[in-house]
Amino acid sequence: MEEVKLYGHPLSGHTHKVSLFLSILQLEYEFIIIDLKKQQQKSTSFLSINPLGQVPVLKHNSRIICDSNAILIYLAKTFDKSDFWYPSSTIKQAQVQRLLSIAAGPLVNGPATVRAIKVLNKPGNFDLALETTIQLYHFLEQSLAKQKWMVSNKPTIADVALYSYIKLAEAATDIGQDFPNIQKWQTQVEAIPGFMAVT
């Protein structure tokens, strides 16, 4: 029997993307909340799981996988034998990886930071984060003008990786309304069987 545990926090977009993919894959799992306000991610017990003190962390049987994007790849390769979510094509994998890098860079420095400053009252440069968001959205808008999903005409883990913080940023700015292809793409993601909304 598979034992899957997800350590994370409900307000974390990184945690949500993993929860979303677990739901899409219809995998049962135990969700263990790590209280970030109480700095539980810095506790000795959690640092023994992830020395970097970051969520989310996935535990699958005896295996421990850290970092949301790494977890998405692991889940796709382990539980999606059809290679639907992480294509077997080398060029498609490269395209997915590029977007996962964007999800770890501009997405975090843009939409995630905009939301962190405005909604979660975190310190930061809002104008710079908004500028990064707009630049990212222009790039994604142009990509989605050519195809239905981020990599091709079917969804991949790249779509899962990008969705959460783009959606969460709507609570901080309405700039996303200026990008109709991104709006349409969000609706498509939300129509995927097993979709789970952000909180």
pLDDT digits (tens, 9 = 90+) for 11-46: 999 999 999 999 999 999 999 999 998 999 999 999
What is the residue extent of each domain of the chain? Answer: 4-79, 90-190
Looking at residue 154, its pLDDT comes to 96
Beta bridge partners of 7: 32, 57
Looking at residue 19, its pLDDT comes to 99
Between CA 198 and CA 120 the distance in angstroms is 15
Looking at residue 13, its pLDDT comes to 98
Looking at residue 28, its pLDDT comes to 96
Mean pLDDT computed over 175-190 = 98
Overall fold of domain 90-190: Glutathione S-transferase Yfyf (Class Pi); Chain A, domain 2 (1.20.1050)
Tell me the whole-structure pTM to 2 decimals: 0.96
Which DSSP string corresponds to the chain? ---EEEEE-TT-HHHHHHHHHHHHTT---EEEE--TTTTGGGSHHHHTT-TT--S-EEEETTEEEESHHHHHHHHHHHH-TT-SSS-SSHHHHHHHHHHHHHHHTHHIIIIIHHHHHHTS---S-HHHHHHHHHHHHHHHHHHHHHSSSSSSSS--HHHHHHHHHHHHGGGT--GGGG-HHHHHHHHHHHTSTT-----
Between CA 143 and CA 145 the distance in angstroms is 5
Q: Are strands 4-8 and 30-33 parallel, antiparallel or unpaired?
A: parallel
Overall fold of domain 4-79: Glutaredoxin (3.40.30)
Token pair of 30 as six digits: 């135990």
Mean pLDDT computed over 108-122 = 98
Q: How many CA atoms lie within 13 A of 179 on its CB side?
A: 25
**Cα of 107 vs its chain's centroid, Å:** 9
Phi-psi region of 59 (alpha: psi -120 to 50; beta: other; left: phi over 0): beta
Looking at residue 1, its pLDDT comes to 64
| pLDDT-derived band at 199, boundaries 50, 70, 90 | confident
The side-by-side arrangement of strands in the sheet containing 30-33 is: 30-33, 4-8, 57-60, 63-66
